[in-house]
Structure 1
Amino acid sequence: MAERPVFIPSVDTPGFVKVVSFDIPWASGFAPVQKQKNVKSLHAAAAAGGYAPLLEISTKSEERAGRHLSAFHLKVQSEHGEIPLENAFQGSKVFEHGGPYTDLYLTDPRSAKRDPRLQESGRLVAFEFEGYEFPLQPMTSFYDWLYLNAIFPHRVWLRDRIDGQVRYAGFTDIEFNPNKSVNCQARSCALFVALMRANLLEKVMSSAEIFLKTMSEQSRRRAVRVEQSGQLHF
């Protein structure tokens, strides 16, 4: 068994995304067919819990829209031209003793992720991209900003595919393990849809400053709500 999350767009939830996790039987192995078995198990468990339909956001998705929304395929506009999302994320890290290592923008994503400087430069303190510094809190804000920027130019196509005739209740990424990672493309996609449904998308994408202000306010509201309920966890 394994526990995996479903990310639900929710305009009424602080942070705009509700996370619901389900225990599913886990098919081990790296073959695509095994991954798709796990996707189907997760979606079936979620449907039994009242969340359907769902869209898998990864290269393992059986839906064209899900494959196109995989961060593996996405690129971000920068002063260096279009660069892979992974390169933008890794090359923008600022550490105690170095960074950002913007030369990573121009290498391949696998090399960018494995560059030894990312492990040898001390504690991560911020992200810097296009002259703007992103703090580490809220935790997923910089990755979300990159992801939203990558898909924002295609918002009309996306509105049709994922919020039109088929209105997805949530999004999954079967490769994402919440015990090992923080950022998730399915979560970022759910955020995009929630902002779109709240008619806030154009506003928050007008600048990094407005995006961060909006997300920070949402995070603070969440902390206050949880604290008032006596369940504040760090």
Structure 2
Amino acid sequence: MAKRPLFIPKVDSVGVDENLIDFKWFSGFAASQKKKSIESMHSAAIDCGFNNLLEISSKSEDSLGVALSAFNLLITTKKHNRTFSVECAFQSSKVFDNGGPYLDLLEGDSLSAKKDVRLKSSGNVVCFRFFNRDFPIEPRTFFYDWIYINALLQNENLANNILSFDAFTDIEFNPEKSINCQAHSVALYISLINNNVLNEAMSSPDKFLIYTEEHYKKQLRKIAVQQKMI
């Protein structure tokens, strides 16, 4: 058995509800095993009264969920006109005690960026630096949510298609070991829409923090990992 969060966009305020779902876990690294676990989790969530679920990861059975994976979702910087995946943008922005940001990670693929050994050997993350702008590590998911939602805004077709779903999962995300989650970012994006503040909130990082401040204060996710695991 395993427990993973189901991410549900709030309607009456900006934020995301996280409901832990108990389900049968299928161990193994094969994609078929991951898909069995997704099916098991979704079945358990439906039994708990949740419907219209979308798995957001490269293991999703839905092509929309695969496209929304941070490994595949692309973002283009307006000033420099450079395009790369959200995953590459995130990993290449980390500034550590003993190095970084490692901007060469923007040139490679998402998997290589995530597994780069320097991300494990450079100490704790002290901030994020994205094209000369520094972002704090608190709130913990602020920077990841910011770049992911910006990428959604640049991919209108994908962004429109997620509006028909009520809740989101990411089978790869374990709240006991990781902090940031693409399914959470999608749910937060929809909550901003639900509360009619998306454009204003995304006008700047500072405005985004103002609108999400209460949500981040209430975020129930356990942060029992070191900063370098961000």
Scaled by the length of structure 1, the TM-score of the pair is 0.85
- Structure 2: give runs of 5+ residues left out of the alignment: 225-230
Answer yes or no: is the 8 Å Cα contact 1:71–1:85 preserved in 2.
Answer: yes
Q: 1:22 aligned to 2:14?
A: no
The equivalent of 2:227 in structure 1 is none
Against the structure 1 CA distance between its residues 21 and 158, is the aligned structure 2 distance closer, same or farther, given a 3 Å change threshold? Answer: same
Taking the TM superposition and a 5 Å limit, the aligned residue runs for 1:1-234 are 1-12=1-12, 16-78=15-77, 79=80, 81-155=82-156, 157-159=158-160, 161-163=161-163, 167-220=164-217, 222=218
Offset at residue 122 of structure 1 (A): 2.4
User: Shift of residue 43 of structure 1?
Assistant: 1.2
* Contact 2:5 2:20 survives alignment (8 Å): yes
Counterpart position of 1:230: none
Residue 171 of structure 1: how far off its partner (Å): 0.2
Considering only aligned residues, what root-mean-square deviation do their CA atoms show, in Å?
2.2
SS at match of 2:174: coil
| Partner residue in 2 for 1:229 | none
Structure with higher Rg: it is 1
Q: Shift of residue 156 of structure 1?
A: 5.3
SS in 2 for 1:23: strand
Tell me, yes or no, if the aligned pair for 2:9 and 2:17 is still in contact at 8 Å: yes
Question: 1 CA distance for matches of 2:155 and 2:85?
Answer: 16
Provide Cα deviations, 1:39-79, integer angstroms capped at 9, x if missing partner.
12111111121211111111222222212211121122232
Tell me which residue corresponds to 2:228: none
Write out per-residue CA displacement over residues 109-164 of structure 1, whole angstroms, 9 at most, x where no aligned residue: 233223333233322111011222111111111111111111112335532x222x
In 2, Cα distance between the equivalents of 1:69 and 1:169? 16
- Looking at structure 2, the residues matched to 155 and 80 of structure 1 have their Cα atoms a distance apart, in angstroms, of 18
Equivalent pairs, count: 220
Q: Cα distance, 1:80 vs. partner?
A: 6.0
Q: Secondary structure at the match of 1:8?
A: strand
Q: Decide whether aligned partners of structure 1 residues 41 and 200 sit closer, same or farther in structure 2, where only a CA change above 3 A counts.
A: same
> What TM-score, normalized by structure 2, do the two folds share?
0.86
Question: What SS does the aligned partner of 1:71 have?
Answer: coil
Whole-angstrom CA distance in 2 between matches of 1:213 and 1:129:
20
Q: Deviations over 1:162-182 (max 9, x none)?
A: 22xxx3220001121111111
Quote the offset at 1:95 in angstroms. Answer: 1.6
CA spacing shift, 1:127–1:23, aligned 2, 3 Å: same
Q: Secondary structure at the match of 1:72?
A: coil
What percentage of aligned pairs have identical amino acids? Answer: 46
For residues 71-97 of structure 1, what are the alpha-carbon distances to aligned partners after superposition, in whole Å with 9 as ceiling and x for unaligned?
121122232600121211111111223
> Aligned equivalents of 1:21 and 1:70: distance in 2?
21
Structure 1, unmatched stretches of 5+, are: 227-232
Q: Secondary structure at the match of 1:4?
A: strand
